[in-house]
């Protein structure tokens, strides 16, 4: 579910219009839904019973069904009793009106009952989707009962539509939005556009489409530099594997060269999101059961040795983010290379124009990031952020610039997912990013700036201690300047972070909302992870850190975020390079986990083909099945260490017997420490 502010949605449609299927598609990613059924079965009407059975078969296994087909007041009670964490789907109000008009409940004040339902919907704190037939487009019924039904249903639809945040009319399976609000986009099947955060009474006016803005609108929305950069989405490029670099990789003026890029993979539209990004957002979490189930499954595979080692965490992460114990390797990867410079002492020791040269180099398909992206068959976007102001003198950004940067990052992630991307890699190449990240770490975690600020290395490989001291002084002065400032996420980004960190935080939030994992690699990504954690605690669970690179800021921030690096490559090729270098290894682990069969000694015994009439199974508890009940806590532990540092080998479903002992020597019921 997204964070666009809806909590009550009315889906209208005629008979066989697809209204119920559309409403169900909006909630298909919600694990637990309370389905409120208003229709009653009629044993004398098999066609009606078949329709109800078809509805039941479409519902996911995690949904529960509650009946509201006996008393008209029951529906209002169910809605009023729902809590903020509940999700209700009412299908449909036509059945409720039928119960309302039942002679058994007459005489009654139908208008008052409809008003009570509308009031319950308006005050409901839960997520609520209601389905109702639209009968106002046909002729007036010829029977008194038909006219009474049409009148009562029309009155009900008007009252419910007034109480809802959004109303959609489904015709031939196509939604037409009747009420979505000027500041909110329409939800889409899959949940995008439904509520994830409480609606603010004073919501900020959403951005309009760029084509509809006037020059005055642009000037009022944001400073000119930010409007110019963020009005367009950067081109999506696909690198190709280049031949060995020449002595001078930068072409001379007038020299004809073969471009290192193929044509853009797509043209990205400019979309106004209308988001309100604020602390406490309710974004999706990875599947808490799929990850442990995938690791348990690894213990049954036909592996010649002790297994995948640390790479089992990759399998667990991919399983949780994909929602299955048999995850697939990431096929479509996009690298977001953030280029945003920081002015003042934060950029001390950098060569003027060096970061811009690196960004242009990546656009041409040269340099480490582009070549590693080519090897990984990943697309690349070079994202430009305007220059951030000196943090020792004043705020790096204004509040409006922070909002614009967060929304821009969210949009980048959202459009990547729409293009079919299933993994994002966050990279950066700006000047002074290390100092800005150290300041953000100090503000959000209380770290000592000098302890998390990495050494300054010149292009020739020399350590510049003087530049490092100047950066330390800039961060120290910034921390002193903001000692009485709020430490909210947006305030930290405005005072200390800068544009690239704010965009990175928006990318992480947008990827979380779209259930897409992100590989972090460097100070910018980790600092953005800390900021996004304070806006939505779920964001860090969608992040994976392949390598810390020996950078103190990354090591410290990863410890706070509980992101344990998989490798220790200590590459010095720029933020994002280590993640791309490790990507083939991560994919290989997922390929093995998904392709290898179960070890023969653990395979289920085949049935005897000679037995034509097997004895009926006796009653009793069923044996556990693979991945049916993943362990959430390792037995025998009370030392406070995380449970996932140990592995508990479940007893074999076949029970004791002369089965072979696995080659790693572990037996059923054993508790295995890390690394064994």
User: Left if phi > 0, otherwise alpha if psi is -120 to 50, otherwise beta: which for 212?
Assistant: alpha
Q: Return the bridge partners of 342, or none.
A: 388
73 class by beta-carbon count within 10 Å (0-12 exposed, 13-18 middle, 19+ buried): middle
> Does residue 107 have a cis bond before it (omega within 30 degrees)?
yes
d(CA 451, CA 428): 21
DSSP secondary structure, 491-556, as one string = HHIIIII-HHHHHHHHHHHHHHHTT--EE--SHHHHHHHHHHHHH-TTGGGGEE-SB-TT-HHHHH
8 Å CB contact between 58 and 26: no
Cα dist from 65 to 9, 60, 84, 94, 564, whole Å: 19, 11, 19, 18, 41
Query: In angstroms, how far apart are the furthest CA atoms of the chain?
Result: 93
d(CA 636, CA 593): 28
Which of 397, 421, 323, 450 has the alpha carbon at shortest distance from 62?
323
Sign of the C-alpha dihedral computed for residues 226, 227, 228 and 234 taken in this order: positive
Strand pairing of 8-13 and 127-133? Answer: parallel
Catalytic residue among 116, 134, 575, 647: 575
Which of 470, 438, 464, 466 has the alpha carbon at shortest distance from 452?
438
> Does residue 457 have a cis bond before it (omega within 30 degrees)?
no
Torsion of CA 462, 575, 499, 318, to 10 degrees: -160
8 Å CB contact between 27 and 87: yes
Q: Whole-angstrom distance between the N-terminal and C-terminal Cα of the chain?
A: 40
8 Å CB contact between 318 and 327: yes
Cα dist from 413 to 379, 381, 508, whole Å: 13, 11, 8
8 Å CB contact between 542 and 517: yes
d(CA 496, CA 394): 9
Q: How is residue 359 written in tokens?
A: 């960004």
Q: Which residue has the tokens 């080659």?
A: 663
Cα dist from 447 to 476, 479, 552, whole Å: 12, 11, 11
Active site residue 612: no
Q: How is residue 57 written in tokens?
A: 């078969």
Q: Which residues are catalytic?
A: 575
């Amino acid at each position: 579910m997204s964070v666009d502010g809806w909590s009550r949605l009315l889906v209208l449609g005629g008979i066989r219009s697809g209204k119920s299927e559309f409403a169900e598609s909006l909630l298909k990613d919600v694990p637990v839904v309370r389905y409120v059924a208003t229709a009653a079965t009629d044993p004398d009407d098999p066609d009606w019973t078949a329709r109800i059975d078809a509805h039941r078969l479409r519902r996911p296994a995690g949904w529960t069904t509650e009946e509201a087909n006996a008393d008209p007041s029951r529906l209002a009670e169910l809605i009023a009793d729902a809590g903020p964490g509940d999700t209700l789907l009412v299908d449909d109000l036509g059945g409720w009106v039928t119960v309302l008009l039942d002679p058994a409940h007459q005489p009654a004040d139908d208008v008052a009952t409809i008003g009570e339902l509308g009031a319950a919907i308006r005050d409901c704190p839960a997520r609520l989707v209601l389905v109702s037939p639209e009968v106002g487009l046909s002729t007036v019924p010829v029977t008194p009962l038909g006219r009474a039904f049409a009148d009562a249903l029309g009155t009900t639809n008007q009252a419910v539509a007034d109480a809802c945040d959004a109303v959609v009319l489904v015709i031939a399976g196509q939604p037409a939005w009747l009420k979505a609000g000027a500041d909110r986009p329409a939800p889409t099947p899959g949940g995008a556009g439904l509520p994830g955060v409480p609606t603010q009474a004073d919501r900020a006016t959403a951005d309009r489409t760029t084509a509809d803005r006037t020059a005055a609108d642009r000037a009022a929305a944001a400073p000119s530099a930010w409007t110019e950069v963020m009005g367009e989405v950067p081109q999506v490029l696909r690198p190709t594997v280049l031949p060995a670099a020449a002595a001078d990789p930068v072409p001379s003026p007038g020299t004809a060269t073969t471009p290192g890029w193929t044509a853009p993979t797509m043209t990205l539209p400019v979309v106004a999101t209308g988001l309100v990004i604020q602390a406490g957002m309710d974004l999706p979490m990875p599947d808490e059961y799929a990850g442990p189930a995938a690791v348990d499954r690894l213990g049954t595979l036909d592996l010649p040795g002790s297994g995948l080692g640390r790479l089992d965490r990759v399998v667990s992460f991919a399983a949780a983010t994909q929602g299955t114990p048999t995850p697939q390797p990431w096929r479509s990867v996009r690298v977001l290379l953030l280029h945003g410079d920081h002015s003042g002492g934060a950029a001390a020791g950098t060569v003027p124009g060096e970061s811009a040269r690196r960004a242009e180099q990546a656009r041409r398909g040269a340099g480490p990031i582009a070549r590693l992206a080519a090897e990984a068959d990943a697309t690349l976007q070079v994202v430009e952020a305007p220059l951030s102001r000196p943090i020792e003198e004043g705020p790096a950004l204004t509040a409006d610039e922070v909002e614009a940067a967060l929304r821009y990052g969210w949009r980048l992630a959202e459009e990547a997912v729409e293009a079919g991307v299933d993994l994002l890699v966050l990279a950066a190449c700006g000047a002074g990013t290390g100092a800005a990240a150290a300041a953000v770490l100090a503000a959000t975690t209380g770290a000592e700036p000098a302890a998390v600020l990495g050494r300054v290395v010149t292009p020739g490989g020399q350590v510049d201690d003087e530049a490092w001291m100047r950066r330390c002084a800039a961060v120290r002065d910034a921390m002193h300047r903001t000692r009485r400032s709020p430490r909210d996420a947006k305030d930290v980004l405005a005072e200390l972070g800068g544009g690239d960190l704010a965009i990175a935080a928006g990318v992480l939030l947008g990827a979380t909302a779209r259930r897409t994992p992100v590989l972090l690699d460097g100070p910018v990504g980790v600092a953005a992870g800390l900021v996004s954690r304070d806006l939505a605690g779920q964001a860090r669970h969608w992040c994976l850190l392949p390598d810390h690179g020996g950078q103190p800021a990354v090591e410290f921030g990863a410890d706070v975020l509980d992101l344990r690096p998989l490798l220790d490559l200590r590459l010095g090729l720029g933020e994002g390079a280590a993640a791309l270098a490790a990507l083939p290894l991560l994919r290989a682990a997922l390929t093995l986990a998904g392709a290898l069969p179960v070890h023969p000694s653990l395979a289920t015994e085949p049935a005897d083909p000679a037995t034509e009439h097997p004895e009926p199974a006796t009653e009793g508890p069923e044996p556990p099945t693979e991945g049916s009940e993943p362990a959430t806590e390792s037995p025998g532990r009370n030392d406070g260490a995380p449970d996932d540092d140990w592995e508990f080998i479940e007893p074999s479903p076949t029970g004791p017997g002369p089965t072979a002992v696995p080659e790693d020597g572990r037996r059923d019921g054993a508790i295995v420490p890390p690394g064994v």
